[in-house]
Chains A and B, each alone.
Chain A
Amino acid sequence: MRHILIIFVGISVSCYAYFNYNIGEPSHMGPGFFPFYLGIILAVIGTTIFLATFNKKFLPKKLNYKKLIIIISSIILFSTTLNTLGILLSTFLSSLLSTYANKNYINNTSRIIVALTITLITWIVFILFLDVPIKIFPGIIT
């Protein structure tokens, strides 16, 4: 039943385009012209999908919410700490967090080792090799 979201996206895109941008006419397309009609098309397609799958039993792929939350959180952790803590600490913390998404780690020590290794590799590839302009340590300007 998540197909309804597609319809919703289509309709909202069209509405937003309609109210905020000039639609114009075919000979003089405004900025809203393309998105407006695209939104309608998307809503129509979404409705067709919805109707077509209405009667079928819904067999969703198994969703691992825990994994989703942990992995996404690790990325958000990275982005929020990148500028304050520097890339090395940021990498360490977020990769450590991401290891908790998987059950195959024996103990926490192996997780820490992996996080450290990843931090090392990140340092080698992105700082030494590629010279990415980013804070390395907290408080130091590159």
Chain B
Amino acid sequence: MESILGLIGGFNTILEPTVLFYCFIGVFLGTLVGVIPGIGALAAVSLLLPLTYHLNPTVAIITIAGIYYGTQYGGSTASILLNLPGSPSNVITCIDGYPMSKQGRSGVALCMTAIASFVGSMIGVAILLLFSLEIANLGLKFGPAEYFSLMMLGLVMAAAMTSGSILKGFAMVTLGLIIGTIGIDIHSGIPRFHFEIPSLMDGIGLVTLVMGLFGLVEILMSDKFQCREKNNSITFKSMTPTKDDIKRSVYPILRGTAVGSFFGTLPGIGPTIASFSAYSVEKKFSKNSDKLGTGAIEGLVSPEAANNAAVQTAWIPTLMLGIPGDAVMSLMIAVLIIHGIYPGPTMIAQQPEIFWGLIASFIIGNILLLILNIPFIKIWVRLLQIPYHYLYPLILIFISVGVYSVSNNIFDIYIVALIGIVGYFLYADNYQFPPLLLGFVLGPLIEEKLRRSLLISGGDFKIFFESPISAALLATTALIIIFAVIKFIKSGDRRS
């Protein structure tokens, strides 16, 4: 089968010492940063992004991907030991993980989490493989109109799926699209919204935007980690799970993986929603559902398997269709685009080395993580004991220097500060940023597809409805908008 051949080629790429090294670095740094509460996958990837700028595209994306699923692993450690989610998708892990810790079973919890995450990831990767070629074939039928409708769907889903008001999600998407127009318009060569400032001719950089919105705003909003108890040391012996633990975990892991894999493929839905849903599924279907919340192992492994599966399957729409599975995926797309690679149905055919190298790296990376997590847990725990007020100035400097290092431009740092201020006020009003990021990343692409479609059709908007694929996508988009508006009117939007 083609997939197997491709995968073997991918292993060729990843097993080269340099590439393997960077994959390890990515995974290691990801876990490290993921362990720090308050810094989620998004902030972790943003902070570490400048480090990958000077690597070649394959290595860069492998490293960043490693950071991403590394943070999932690391985040669960903080959730279990400190009741502090390392990232939003780890919130559910706290519910049963922390009680297990209090019962003195933290070692077992950590071990089972690692295993559940690994299984979830591997099955997610398998699904990724299965689907890759199918969707790629479908993609050959995509013209500019279809792409436009697909991206619209992605944006609308992202806006609708984030927490908080859906209208605000739409506002953020639009704002992101607008910010994306800053810079030179490729088509006409005219710089837009640059206000005579030379540095703005290239537009606002991705790193700048992301550091400002996710790094700076995070620091502005946070006060402390709220550390409570210090935990006793974890020995190897205390980490082995009992036979009963393993028996009880099998089905939850499988259920969680199924839920996670499904949700991961949907654009706009990511590991967070996946883990929440897995928990509710567990509540309904588990034999021991009454024990959930008191330190039941089912409640721990199911969401963990789910969020890792979701992280892997989120690559399906991201790579195959060019539609981000969630906010971090939009970052990935941006990174690829910066390196000149355009994810989408043609990616497998045009850049197979990168595609298969990436997939092979998922497998290797997850194995690395499994091995990493076990001996390194003590280090992570030590790290967690550093008080927040020592860490945030360091993070601030990392943001400033990181932003500067991208294009050696002082002005970028001023922009970050400005974005931080604006973001702070937006966040205070319950506006969420992931939809903005998606709008920013997809903006130029959507505009180009729109322009091309209308050029072909001579200004006639009917072109978007003439092809069945495009029409179906737009219809789904409209459905989601209608559904969202109805929900909004019904609830009276208490969460204003």
Knowing A26-B454, A79-B410, A130-B51, the reply to whether A35 touches B175 (Cβ < 8 A) is no
Q: Are A34 and B397 in contact (CB under 8 A)?
A: no
Which B residues touch A52, using CB under 8 A?
A: 167, 488, 493, 496
C-alpha gap A21/B194 in the complex (Å): 12
**Are A31 and B192 interface neighbours, CB within 8 A?**
yes
Closest 5 CB pairs of A and B: A27-B459, A79-B413, A26-B459, A53-B496, A31-B185
Q: Find the B residue at minimum CB distance from A119.
A: B397
Chain B residues with Cβ under 8 A from A105's Cβ? 389
Taking CB as reference atom, which chain A residue is nearest B191? A31
Given the complex, which residues of A lie within 8 Å of B389, measured CB to CB?
Answer: 99, 102, 104-105
The answer to whether A118 touches B220 (Cβ under 8 A) is no
- Whether the pair A87, B167 counts as a contact (CB closer than 8 A) is no
Residues of B180-195 contacting chain A, CB below 8 A: 181, 185, 187-188, 190, 192-193
CA distance A4 to B19 in the complex (A): 50
A89 within 8 A of B: no
- Chain B residues within an 8 Å CB radius of A98: 392-393, 396
* C-alpha gap A115/B396 in the complex (Å): 12
In the complex the two chains form, is B428's CB within 8 Å of A60's CB? Answer: yes
Residues of A within 8 A of B167 (CB): 45, 48-49, 52
Fill in one digit per residue for A88-101: 1 if any B CB lies within 8 Å of its CB, else 0. 00010011001100
Q: Which of B140-184 contact A (CB under 8 A)?
A: 165, 167-168, 170-171, 174-175, 177-178, 181
Give A106 to B167 CA distance when docked, in angstroms.
Answer: 45
Is A61 a contact partner of B190 (Cβ separation < 8 A)? no
Among B177, B185, B190, B397, find the residue whose CB has the most chain A CB atoms closer than 10 A: B397
Give A138 to B61 CA distance when docked, in angstroms.
Answer: 37
Given A72-B420, A78-B413, A79-B414: A126 in contact with B401 (beta carbons within 8 A): yes
Neighbouring B residues of A16 by C-beta, 8 Å = 193
Given the interface contacts A3-B429, A76-B414, does A68 sit within 8 Å of B421 by beta carbon? yes
Does B219 sit at the interface, judged by CB under 8 A? yes
Cβ of A63 < 8 Å from any Cβ of B? yes
Q: Note all chain B residues with C-beta closer than 8 A to A63.
A: 424-425, 428
- By beta carbon, the residue of chain A nearest B488 is A52
A134 cross-chain contacts in B, Cβ below 8 A:
404-405, 408
Please determine whether A71 and B397 come into contact, CB atoms closer than 8 angstroms. Answer: no
Q: What's the Cα separation between A53 and B491 when bound, in Å?
A: 12
Tell me, yes or no, whether B248 is within 8 Å of chain A by CB. no
Chain A residues near B421 (CB, 8 Å)? 68, 72
Q: Which of A67-92 contact B (CB under 8 A)?
A: 67-68, 71-72, 74-76, 78-79, 82-83, 87, 91
Rounded to whole angstroms, the CA-CA distance of A56 and B492 in the bound complex is 10
Shortest B228–chain A CB gap in Å is 15
Question: Which secondary structure characterizes the binding site on chain A?
Answer: helix
Please give the distance in Å from B217's CB to the nearest CB on chain A: 10
Q: List 25 A-B contacts (CB under 8 A).
A: A2-B425, A3-B429, A6-B171, A6-B175, A16-B193, A26-B461, A27-B455, A28-B455, A34-B177, A34-B450, A35-B192, A42-B171, A45-B171, A45-B174, A53-B496, A60-B429, A63-B425, A71-B420, A72-B417, A78-B400, A82-B410, A99-B393, A105-B389, A114-B390, A134-B408
User: Which A residues touch B400, using CB under 8 A?
Assistant: 75, 78-79, 94
Using CB atoms, name the residue of chain A closest to B430. A61
Please name all residues of chain A whose beta carbon is closer than 8 Å to the beta carbon of B387 when the two chains form the complex.
104
Tell which of B190, B397, B414, B494 touches A118, judged by Cβ atoms closer than 8 Å. Answer: B397
A49, B171: Cβ atoms under 8 Å? Answer: yes
Q: Does A15 contact B (CB under 8 A)?
A: no
- Size class of the A contact interface (CB-based, 8 Å): 35 or more
Are A13 and B417 in contact, CB atoms less than 8 angstroms apart? Answer: no
- Report the separation of the CA atoms of residues A61 and B192 in the bound assembly, to the nearest whole angstrom: 34
The answer to whether B175 and A118 have CB atoms under 8 Å apart is no
Chain B nearest CB from A2 CB (Å) reads 6
A35 to B174, CA, bound (A): 10
Look across to chain B and name the residue whose beta carbon is closest to the beta carbon of A59: B496
Q: Is B283 an interface residue (CB 8 A)?
A: no
Instruction: Using known A-B contacts A6-B171, A26-B459, A91-B397, determine if residue A31 contacts B187 with beta carbons closer than 8 Å.
Output: yes
A79 to B399, CA, bound (A): 12
User: In the assembly, what is the distance between CA of A82 and CA of B403, in Å?
Assistant: 13
Residues on B with beta carbons closer than 8 Å to the beta carbon of A118: 393-394, 397
A94 contacts which chain B residues (CB < 8 A)?
396-397, 400
**Please, how many angstroms separate the alpha-carbon atoms of A64 and B421 in the complex?**
12
8 Å CB contact of B175 from A9, A25, A61: A9
Residues on A with beta carbons closer than 8 Å to the beta carbon of B220 = 64, 67-68, 71
Query: In the complex, are the beta carbons of A35 and B187 less than 8 A apart?
Result: no
| B405 CB contacts on chain A under 8 angstroms | 126, 130, 132, 134
Write out the residue numbers on chain A whose beta carbons fall within 8 Å of the beta carbon of B401: 87, 91, 122, 126, 132
Decide yes or no whether B202 CB sits under 8 A from chain A.
no
The docked-state distance in angstroms from the alpha carbon of A112 to that of B107 is 38
A32 to B, closest residue via Cβ: B192
Report Cα–Cα, A132/B402, bound state, in Å: 10
User: Which B residues lie within 8 Å of A53 (CB)?
Assistant: 493, 496
B447 at the interface (CB under 8 A from A): yes
The answer to whether the Cβ of B458 comes within 8 Å of any Cβ in the partner chain is yes
